């Protein structure tokens, strides 16, 4: 039976993707830093879909996390067909007012750890007849976003890396898909330090994690290089391409100032 490895699987989009893959018959390998969440998710997948589910607990922002997870997966002697790079988070606020150590940790997780996972696992994935990498970015990848400048830049990196690697790997059976969700019903915005006003506005437009996961997995299995879930999010991405960057950045600046925590 083919296995899927999902990072940041304990909650939100990662959890929903894990369950979507389990529903499609994949045995799942779950990675997160919160053991209780992984125990509950593994049991849910076993009971609901009759699949195998194992987990690894650790902080994926640690520089050697990818190596440890790779060694763990190798020790299981399983046939890995899917790698889902979902682990990541955002921070809001003016750049110079943020703790640089926290910014560095976010950049390590969002970019370097994701890259390390691909570099570790892609050679074995390419040995499969058909295999898949699914990277989770954001609609923030399509434009500079004042107030979320570093986070948006990290997701632009994920999108660009995904598209480039999809071309590099296309002669093998390995495809790379990048999903760029907009606001989603997860704990992301609480961790990003938005105020109560911002959280209330986000609730009016967010998608549910299960809907994002369904779209993401479907696009991945169709080997699409890029997907933006939801009509409103597609419109945002299209306008970011169509309108002058200065206009988009000015609008984003006004919107973020209205919702950021003071």
Structure token pair of residue 29: 């390998």
The per-residue pLDDT for 237 is 61
Q: Are 173 and 131 in contact (CB under 8 A)?
A: yes
Residue 83 has pLDDT above 70, yes or no: yes
How many Å apart are CA 84 and CA 3, to the nearest integer? Answer: 11
Mean pLDDT of 1-22: 96
Sign for the pseudo-dihedral over CA of 102, 84, 179, 142: positive
Strands (DSSP E) along 13-119, which ranges?
A: 27-32, 53-57, 79-85
More confident residue, 257 or 198: 257
Q: How far apart are CA 127 and CA 123, in angstroms?
A: 7
Q: What is the per-residue pLDDT for 202?
A: 45
pTM for the whole structure: 0.86
Q: What is the mean pLDDT of residues 124-144?
A: 95
Of the pLDDT bands very low, low, confident and very high (cuts 50, 70, 90), residue 187 is low
With CA atoms as reference, report the closest residue to 202 among 85, 92, 84.
Answer: 92
**List of residues 6+ apart from 208 with CB closer than 8 A:** 184, 185
- Residue-level pLDDT at 207: 82
Q: Which of 55, 132, 142, 151 is catalytic?
A: 151
Instruction: Output phi, psi for 219, to 5 deg.
Output: -65, -40
| Total Cβ atoms within 10 A of residue 244 | 8
Res. 133: pLDDT tops 90: yes
Task: Give the pLDDT confidence score for residue 146 in this predicted structure.
Answer: 87
151 catalytic, yes or no? yes
Q: Are 29 and 1 in contact (CB under 8 A)?
A: no
In terms of average pLDDT, the best of 32-41, 135-144, 205-214 is 32-41
* Rounded-to-integer distance, Cα 127 and Cα 86, Å: 23
Q: What is the pLDDT of residue 167?
A: 97
Measured CA to CA, the distance from residue 200 to residue 202 in angstroms comes to 5
Gap between the Cα atoms of 164 and 167, Å rounded: 5
Q: In whole angstroms, what is the distance from residue 19 CA to residue 44 CA?
A: 8
pLDDT-derived band at 107, boundaries 50, 70, 90: very high
What is the mean predicted confidence (pLDDT) over 42-52? 98
Q: What are phi and psi of 57, to 5 degrees?
A: -105, 130
Residue pLDDT, tens place only, 205-252: 468 999 999 999 999 999 999 999 876 766 666 556 555 556 555 655
**pLDDT score, position 241:** 56
Token pair recorded at residue 140: 């923030």
What integer is the mean pLDDT of 15-28? Answer: 98
How many residues are listed for the chain in this entry? 262
CATH of domain 2-259: 3.40.50.720
For residues 225 and 222, give the distance between their C-alpha atoms in angstroms, rounded to a whole number: 9
Instruction: Write down the pLDDT at residue 199.
Output: 45
Question: Of 155, 203, 257, 261, which is the active-site residue?
Answer: 155
- Determine whether 155 is an active site residue: yes
Cα(81)–Cα(98) distance, integer angstroms: 39
Q: How confident is the model at residue 144 (pLDDT cuts 50, 70, 90)?
A: confident
- Residue 118 is predicted with a pLDDT of 98
Question: If you average pLDDT over residues 84-106, what whole number do you get?
Answer: 95
pLDDT at 229: 87
Q: Mean pLDDT of all residues in the chain?
A: 87
């Amino acid at each position: 039976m083919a296995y899927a490895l999902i990072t940041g699987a304990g909650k939100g989009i990662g959890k929903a993707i894990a369950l979507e893959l389990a529903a499609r018959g994949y045995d799942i390998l779950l990675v997160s830093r919160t053991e209780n969440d992984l125990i509950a998710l593994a049991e849910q997948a076993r009971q609901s879909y009759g699949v195998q589910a194992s987990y690894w607990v650790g902080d994926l922002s640690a520089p050697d996390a990818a190596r440890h997870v790779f060694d763990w997966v190798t020790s299981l002697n399983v046939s890995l067909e899917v790698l889902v790079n979902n682990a990541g988070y955002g921070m809001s606020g003016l750049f110079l007012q943020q703790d640089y150590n926290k910014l560095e940790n976010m950049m390590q997780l969002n970019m370097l750890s994701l890259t390390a996972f691909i570099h570790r696992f892609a050679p074995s994935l390419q040995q499969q007849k058909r295999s898949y990498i699914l990277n989770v970015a954001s609609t923030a990848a399509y434009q500079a976003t004042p107030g979320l400048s570093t986070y948006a830049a990290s997701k632009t990196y994920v999108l660009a890396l995904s598209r480039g690697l999809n071309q590099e790997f296309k002669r093998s059976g390995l495809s790379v898909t990048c999903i760029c969700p907009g606001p989603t019903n997860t704990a992301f915005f609480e961790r990003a330090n938005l105020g109560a006003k911002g959280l209330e506005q986000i609730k009016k437009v967010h998608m549910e994690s299960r809907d994002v996961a369904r779209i993401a997995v479907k696009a991945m299995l169709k080997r699409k290089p890029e997907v933006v879930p939801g009509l409103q999010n597609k419109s945002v991405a299209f306008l970011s391409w169509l309108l002058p960057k200065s206009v988009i950045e000015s609008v984003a600046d006004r919107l973020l100032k209205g919702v950021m925590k003071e």
